[in-house]
Homo-oligomer: A and B are copies of this chain.
Amino acid sequence: MSKHSAQLATLSTPCLVLDEARMTRNIDRLADRARSLGVTLRPHLKTGKSVDVARRVLADANGPATVSTLAEAETFAAAGMNDITYAVGIAPNKLDRVVALRQGGCDLAVVLDSVAQAEAVAAASRDSGQCIPAFIEIDSDGHRGGLLSGDPALIIIGRILHDNGAELRGVLTHAGESYGAVGAQAQAVFAEMERAATVAAAQTLRAAGLPCPVVSVGSTPTAHAATDLTGVTELRAGVYTFFDLVMTGIEVCTLDDIALSVLTTVIGHQSERGWIMVDAGWMALSRDRGTAAQALDQGYGVVCDVDGNVLDELIIVQANQEHGVIACRPGSNRRLPEFAIGTQLRLLPNHACATAAQHGFYNVLPIAEDAPLMEWPRFGGW
């Protein structure tokens, strides 16, 4: 048992364990890629939702950063981060909070894809005297929101923003469908779709005499697979900070890269059914079953020993609110190991964003083996 495992033994379970060495390796990997691709990296902070994680993932103390809620923007701005893109389509009744953040000194930008939103942003800009910067969202893969790069609404929206008191900061896309592509070659196709769609949209806006200084693309799979980002100025990605089983399943990372796990304790056995009961159910793991549609279904998570070594064939096959059931993977001929009541284990999550969101803090295994565990708070809400 390592020194860290002895420290974990003192924790009440279930709880999050974050491996700082793995996290740092993941952060460095994408920072190096962004540098070699010649683009700014604007990490998405929605995975960590933690000032401590943000300080380590951002290029400098202040940004640039991406967030998914105004609660994130407010928390990170209060911690001094002043260059933030709120990357969910803006609702008009949230603009007062956007204005307040900008008045407090944070360069907060919003995202939109409709005339109604652009008019609301322009009106809020005029009313507040804050020239609110907005990105027009581009649909590069049919995943969710955004305009097609050839949509005539692009120029109409751009003009509403530019001519009426707001700022047209650029175009932005997210290839969410790349999560279904396995391997770097397939993911590079989505990266090129992101690039082509946003660069075309930027050219359309510029040809109409409108500014488009920022061309923003990204998702964790495309960010790691892109080979050419000509015309793109910035790259966004989030879950790469921790990685997870979904990303492992599509070959963006390996199990050894997953920095987040849930520490759990054995609380029972149902030997005739081949089950070991633990105290981490879906409340601790989340209900995310993102690997269900992948080639290797990992149930509710992969089981490791307390030191983080993967225990072959063992997964969480079933989860109730506060109970998880460990069993051998369907079809396995491994014999179920005997873990005494009270044994601690660690579970790798399907989706780091979803699992982390179930908890109030991280127990951090520091890089130095001799250093004590750290506790980093995280937050939720909107």
Interface of A with B (CB < 8 Å)? 9, 12-15, 46, 68-70, 88-94, 97, 113-114, 116-117, 120, 139, 142, 144-145, 176, 265-270, 273, 277, 279, 282-284, 286-289, 320-323, 325, 340-342, 353-354, 357-360, 380-382
Question: CB-nearest residue of chain B relative to A325?
Answer: B144
* Contact yes or no, B322 A68, CB < 8 A: yes
Closest 5 pairs (CB-CB, A-B): A287-B287, A89-B267, A116-B341, A91-B265, A68-B322
- Contact across chains for B145 and A268 when beta carbons are under 8 A apart: yes
Nearest-CB distance from A245 to chain B (Å)? Answer: 14
Q: Which residue of B lies closest to A280 (CB)?
A: B382
Chain B residues, CB < 8 A from A113: 268
- Residue with the highest number of chain B CB atoms closer than 10 Å, among A14, A266, A381: A381
Contact across chains for A381 and B357 when beta carbons are under 8 A apart: no
> In the complex, are the beta carbons of A145 and B358 less than 8 A apart?
no
Residues of B within 8 Å of A90, CB to CB, are 267
> Which of these, B46, B266, B353, B360, contacts A381 with CB under 8 Å?
B360
Instruction: Say whether B145 contacts A321, CB under 8 Å.
Output: no
Given contacts A114-B268, A277-B89, contact A354 B287 (CB under 8 A): yes
Given contacts A287-B287, A382-B13, contact A116 B342 (CB under 8 A): yes
A145 surroundings in chain B (CB, below 8 A): 267-268, 270, 277, 323
Rounded to whole angstroms, the CA-CA distance of A382 and B92 in the bound complex is 37
* Interface pair A341/B117, CB less than 8 Å apart: yes
**Cβ contacts under 8 Å, A14 to chain B:** 382
- List the B side residues contacting A117 at CB < 8 Å: 267-268, 341
Q: Please, which residue of chain B has its CB at the minimum distance from the CB of A323? A: B144
Q: Is the CB of B382 within 8 A of A268?
A: no
Please give the distance in Å from A259's CB to the nearest CB on chain B: 19
Q: Which residue of chain B lies nearest to A92 when distances are taken between CB atoms in the complex? A: B342
Nearest chain B residue, comparing its CB with the CB of A277: B145
Q: Are B358 and A12 in contact (CB under 8 A)?
A: no
In angstroms, Cα B265 to Cα A116, docked, is 14
Can you add 12 more A-B contacts, CB < 8 Å, to A91-B341, A144-B270, A286-B286?
A13-B93, A46-B321, A68-B321, A89-B267, A89-B279, A89-B323, A116-B340, A116-B341, A116-B342, A139-B270, A144-B323, A145-B268
Which of A68, A266, A287: most chain B CB closer than 10 A?
A287
A341 CA to B88 CA in the complex, in Å? 14
A14 to B97 alpha-carbon distance, docked (Å): 14
CA distance A273 to B380 in the complex (A): 31
Nearest B residue to A148 via CB reads B272
A289 nearest CB neighbor, chain B only = B287
Task: Give A94 to B11 CA distance when docked, in angstroms.
Answer: 10
Contact assessment for B277 and A144 in the assembled complex, using a CB-CB cutoff below 8 Å: yes
Q: How many Å from the CB of A144 to the closest CB on chain B?
A: 6
A340 to B114, CA, bound (A): 11
